[in-house]
Amino acid sequence: MLTKRIIACLDVDGGRVVKGVQFENLRDAGDPAELAKAHSASGADEIVLLDISAAHQHRTTLLDTVRRAAGQLFVPLTVGGGIRTLEDAAAVFAAGADKIGVNSAALADPALITRIAERFGSQAVVVAIDAKRCEGGLRWEAFTHGGRAAAGRDAIAWAREAESRGAGEILLTSMDRDGTASGFDCKLTRAAADSVRIPVIASGGAGGAQHFVEVFREGHADAALAASIFHYGLSSLGDLKRQLGSQGISVRWPC
């Protein structure tokens, strides 16, 4: 049985980690490098660092923040936000990232996924999809620029296209559940996971260990990502993994 990954997310704005609810009302959570180190030591399988204001502010990723965080880690680091070109991706890899995440730029230029995958390998390309329910909850639409703009694309169809263009993973965030601690959107996650052959990372809504159990079992997620419950001390990564292991979910240490 393949192990399920637990990923800690650092949403960075202005060089500080922040967290809000449904992409709004952001509050400070700490220093990216310090939190990256703490989450890694606590048992995170990977760290995702997202520069959430880069696309909206039309700038590139804060490379110094990436360097400082990467210098604290011995687990894979994914970096997203403001990566618009092959050169942007190369700079982020050079700063210490193991994978890069693309969202807004990939929707604007889907061939960007292929260019990066051909240069650095599909395993290093994560396509982030911010999805919001529409049409009375019958489907989900993809959003860009930190959830500020509708992309006019069905989120599940976009996940399939991203895979076909060379993406190695999908980071799927439920905008409806983000920061609510009400549980992952298992229907959304399952719809995506059952539509692609590459790993799907569930994001948005984690509030406790049972939510992770549900998204792995019912949502068919390969990995689950959270921020608030780790940043504010609501759950220890080690304790979470032990609880998952006790319920038959295969995870890496500790279990």
Per domain, the residue ranges of the chain are 5-246
The catalytically annotated residue of 13, 130, 178, 222 is 130
Q: Compute the distance between CA of residue 184 and CA of residue 170 in angstroms, rounded to an integer.
A: 15
Sign for the CA dihedral angle at 103, 108, 113, 115 comes to negative
List C-alpha distances in Å: 188 to 160, 191, 195, 208, 251. 14, 5, 11, 19, 23
Q: Which amino acid is at 158?
A: W
Tell me, yes or no, if 11 is annotated catalytic: yes
Q: Compute the distance between CA of residue 229 and CA of residue 181 in angstroms, rounded to an integer.
A: 8
Read off the pTM.
0.91
Q: Which fold has domain 5-246?
A: TIM Barrel (3.20.20)
- Report the 10 Å Cβ neighbour count for 2: 7
Tens digit of pLDDT at every position of the chain (255 positions): 689 999 999 988 878 888 655 555 465 668 889 989 999 998 999 999 988 776 667 666 689 899 999 999 999 999 998 899 999 999 999 999 999 999 999 999 999 999 999 999 999 999 999 999 997 778 999 999 878 899 999 999 999 999 999 999 999 999 999 888 999 999 999 999 999 999 999 999 999 999 999 999 999 999 999 987 886 766 778 889 999 999 999 999 755
Nearest CA-CA partner of 51 in 1, 105, 6, 3: 105
N-term to C-term CA, the chain: 15
